[in-house]
Amino acid sequence: MSNNRDDNILVRIRGLRFARGERMIFDGIDLDIERDKVTAIMGPSGTGKTTLLKLIGGQLRPLSGSIEFDGEAIHSMSSSRLYAVRRRMGMLFQSGALLTDISVFENVAYPLREHTRLSESLIQKLVLMKLEAVGLRGARDLMPSELSGGMARRVALARAIALDPDMIMYDEPFTGQDPISKGVLVRLIRRLNDAAHLSSIIVSHDVQETLEISDMIHIISHGQVVGSGTPEQVMASDSEWVRQFIHGEDDGPVPFHFPAADLQTDLIEGSASC
Amino acid sequence: MLNSLAALGRRGLNMIQSLGRASLLLLNILRGQACLLSRPSLVVRQLYSVGVLSFLIIVISGLFVGMVLGLQGYYILSRFNAEETLGVMVAASLVRELGPVVTALLFAGRAGSALTAEIGLMKATEQLSGLEMMAVNPVKRVLAPRFLAGFLSMPMLAALFSAVGVFGGSLVGVGLLGVDDGAFWAQMQANIDWNKDVMNGVIKSLVFGAVVTWIALFEGYDAIPTSEGVSRATTRTVVYSAFAVLELDFVLTALMFGET
Ligand SMILES: Nc1ncnc2c1ncn2[C@@H]1O[C@H](COP(=O)(O)OP(=O)(O)OP(=O)(O)O)[C@@H](O)[C@H]1O
Ligand SMILES: [Mg+2]
């Protein structure tokens, strides 16, 4: 189907530019996601990590540049082709994005019922297995509104892996998890990746977990990739950007603040206006 | 002056843009209808929440509208000694106008606003994005069955409204004010025309059903995904639906009854 089949790059991003209103979110990003690897995307809050996942999933269109999934350009596909390709992607949303009118069990069963003709008993088995993997088999009859944030995220993970996709995108899988479930999730993501020949993209702020789990790390800031490498390389990096981010220093090239006028002017204007 | 002109222009452009988006959405919804043939259960569930749950408000409103028609009609007709035609008057006003129109207005308030809020909140909580990433097209899976349900429910609800209204009119006219029972029903049967009155009413409510449901679904799908955005969208659904129904009613009435 494609000339890149035997190439080990699953997602190839070239010269990606994307803007929200006037603000450039990405300004010429080149990035490769390799097959069968866990790739982490890190970066300060608000740099556009979620946006990047949505671009890969074809939910947003780039201003220019290209995103190829398995050799096919995502944004020039017909809509039916795009839906076919999405079957091979799983995505764990930052918010969980569970369907609120059906139970946990039905949520996980949903993609199976939509895309396969499996028998009810097989669906039952599959769903319970997926829920078992995230430690929530006992919660199958709860409604999404009865779950905590962390539990909802784990149910969403069970749903994302229900169809055994080729690639899973995890948006902040560790946020809101206690240390025990964090550990379980780290191992689960690793195990899924290695056992099922998945490719994983993890977006996360949790430096420790991310260093532990990933094969490759890309750090994004200011619309650019500011550092890439294996965890060891990143740890040892002498780039200021990377050091600041990995070690959580507040001084450095990565600003903590969203772009704004300086505080003094804002405060003075603020007091004058009321 | 220039500023307000520019603002006016911007609003106009925005409106045309929304209209374009709404038309595209409608096109996609209509395309999605084909998939529903293989999955009627999706439509049945929506028929329940859009149609069946609107029963009570329709029945109660229909009854009272019919009763008021009976009262008012009797006062006027009795001045000309034409009380026997009360049945015709009540039935014609209901079947031609009040049935389709009032039902559509009530439907917009009861079911349309609920549809907008539901879809808007699904958008705000990323459920629609979630569906897309599960390779499920939300327009086909979520919007299309709701549209069909709205389109089909409206004529049935309007018929119910008219039937209950006629009953209410007879209750007041025959039961309370002493119009002759036989004359009331016989006149009605003789003078209400199947094609001209009943079918035209049905056509009206099919049009209203499609338009109100379209507005409700579009406003939800196009809502700004925040609580304020959804609340505004819900208001817009009710307001726009009311405008659309009343204006279309005038146009349709002129087309249907103009020539005779
Ligand atoms: N719907 C939207 N409309 C306009 N701007 C948006 C929208 N969504 C996101 N943005 C902007 O795009 C930027 C990137 O957002 P994104 O959600 O991708 O950040 P993120 O890197 O995932 O941050 P976090 O780590 O906090 O989740 C943000 O600065 C935000 O202001
Ligand atoms: Mg994010």
Give pLDDT tens digits along chain A (274 positions). 444 455 788 999 999 999 988 888 999 899 999 998 999 999 888 888 999 999 999 999 999 999 999 888 998 888 889 999 999 999 998 888 899 999 999 999 999 998 888 899 999 999 999 899 888 899 889 999 998 888 888 899 899 988 888 999 999 888 878 888 888 888 888 888 888 788 999 998 888 888 888 999 998 888 888 888 888 888 887 777 777 777 776 666 666 666 677 777 777 665 544 4
Q: CA B96: distance to chain centroid?
A: 14
User: ipTM more than 0.90?
Assistant: no
Q: Does the residue B117 lie in any domain? A: yes
Residue B33 lies inside a defined structural domain of this protein: no
Sheet of A224-229, strand order: A89-92, A167-171, A199-203, A38-42, A216-221, A224-229
- Cα of A94 to ligand 2 centre, how many Å? 6
**Residue B37 in domain:** no
Check A95 against B125: CB less than 8 A apart: yes
Give the residue numbers spanning the domain of B196: 46-253
Provide the shortest C-alpha distance from residue A97 to chain B (in Å): 5
Q: Does B134 touch chain A (CB under 8 A)?
A: yes
Q: How far is CA B173 from CA B102, B108, B165, B167, in A?
A: 21, 30, 12, 10
Using CA atoms, how far apart are residues A145 and A134, in angstroms rounded to an integer?
18
pTM over 0.90: no
pLDDT of residue B179: 86
What letter does residue A70 receive in the DSSP assignment?
Answer: T
Which of B125, B126, B134 faces A111 most closely, judged by CB atoms? B134
Domain presence at residue B34: no
Q: What is the pLDDT of residues B183-196, one digit of tens each?
A: 889 988 888 888 88
Which residue matches tokens 């109100």?
B212
Q: How far apart are CA A135 and CA A195, in angstroms?
A: 19
- Residue B67 is assigned to a structural domain of this protein: yes
Instruction: Give, using CA atoms, the residue closest to atom 1 of ligand 1.
Output: A20
How many CB atoms sit inside 10 A of residue A26's CB?
A: 25
DSSP letters along B107-129, please? HIIIIIHHHHHHHHHHHHTTHHH
Which residues of chain B are modeled with pLDDT < 70?
259-260
B19 within domain boundaries: no
Min Cα separation A149/chain B (Å): 13
B7 found inside a domain: no
- A57: closest CA of chain B, how far (Å): 7
Q: State the CB neighbour count (10 A cutoff) for residue A99.
A: 18
Is there a domain that residue B82 lies in? yes
How many domains is chain B built from? 1
* Pocket of ligand 1 from Cβ distances under 6 Å: A 20, 25, 45-51, 94
Chain B interface, mutation test: which of A61, A88, A91, most B Cβ atoms within 10 Å?
A91
User: Which residue spans within chain A are E strands per DSSP?
Assistant: 9-20, 23-34, 38-42, 64-69, 72-73, 89-92, 167-171, 199-203, 216-221, 224-229
- What pLDDT does residue A56 have? 93
